[in-house]
A and B are shown apart, each in its own frame.
Chain A
Amino acid sequence: EDQVTQSPEALRLQEGESSSLNCSYTVSGLRGLFWYRQDPGKGPEFLFTLYSAGEEKEKERLKATLTKKESFLHITAPKPEDSATYLCAVQAGNKLTFGGGTRVLVKP
C-alpha cells in the first residue's frame, strides 16, 4: 500500500527564517511526486511535479527536491504570505496518495 508521511505537522517561522519540509514515501512504481499549497477553506493549488530522483524545481521562494525515498520543500526567506498548509502526494497509476500536510505559519 502506498504511504506518504509529512513532517513536521506544523511549523512556525519568523519572516526571513528559512526552513525545510519533509515528505517521505513508499510507493510501487512512482509516476510522480506532487507538491500543493492549500489555504484555509480553499482547494489545493499546484506547485511542483517531480518525476525522478535528483530532480529539483523552483518557484519564487520555494524549491522542491526528490530522492528515492523522500522529497523536501525548502522555503527560503519566507514571507507572511507563504503561510499555508503544504501537501505532498505520490502517484501510482491514476491515483494520488496524499500525506497529512505541514501547516506553516510565518510571523512578521
Chain B
Amino acid sequence: SQTIHQWPATLVQPVGSPLSLECTVEGTSNPNLYWYRQAAGRGLQLLFYSVGIGQISSEVPQNLSASRPQDRQFILSSKKLLLSDSGFYLCAWSVRLAGETQYFGPGTRLLVL
C-alpha cells in the first residue's frame, strides 16, 4: 500500500530564516505530487504541483519554491521566511491520470515569528 510522509511535523522559525519541508511517497512510482497551504479556518490553496522529476508548476507567485530531486520526493523551500508564510503545509500524491484521487500526508505546521 502507498504511504506519504512529511517532516517535520511542526516547525517554529524566525522571520528571514530559510525553510525546507520534505515529502516522500512510498509504494508507488511516477506519482503526481502537490504542495498545498491551509491558512487557519480556510480551505486548501494549491502552491505547486509536479508531474515528474525536475518538473514543477507554480500556482501562486510567492516567497516559496519547490523541487523534485527524486521520483517520490518533493521539497518545499524558502530563502527568507515572511510572517505570512505561517500555516499548515500539506503534501499530496496521485497517480498520473486526470480525475484520480489525491491522497494527503499528515502535514507540517509552520509558525513564523
Contacts and interface: CB of A to CB of B under 8 A. Distances in A.
Contact of B107 (A43, A94, A96): A43
Interface stretch (A11-19, A53-61, A70-78, A98-106): A98-106
Interface hub of A4, A36, A43, A98 (most chain B Cβ within 10 A): A43
Interface hub of B45, B102, B107 (most chain A Cβ within 10 A): B102
Contacts of B107: 41-43
Contacts of B105: 43
B106 interface: yes
Interface string B5-35: 0000000000000000000000000001010
Contact of A46 (B44, B45, B98, B103): B103
B76 to A, nearest CB: 15
B27 to A, nearest CB: 15
Nearest to A4: B43
Given A42-B107, A43-B104, A94-B51, A51 B99 contact: yes
A38 to B, nearest CB: 9
Contacts of A93: 98
Secondary structure type dominating chain A contacts: strand
A49 interface: yes
Interface hub of A93, A94, A99, A100 (most chain B Cβ within 10 A): A94
Contacts of A51: 99
A43 B90 contact: yes
Contacts of B98: 31, 91, 93-94
Interface of A: 4, 31-32, 34, 36, 41-46, 49, 51, 87, 89, 91, 93-101
Interface of B: 32, 34, 42-46, 49, 51, 59, 90, 98-107, 109
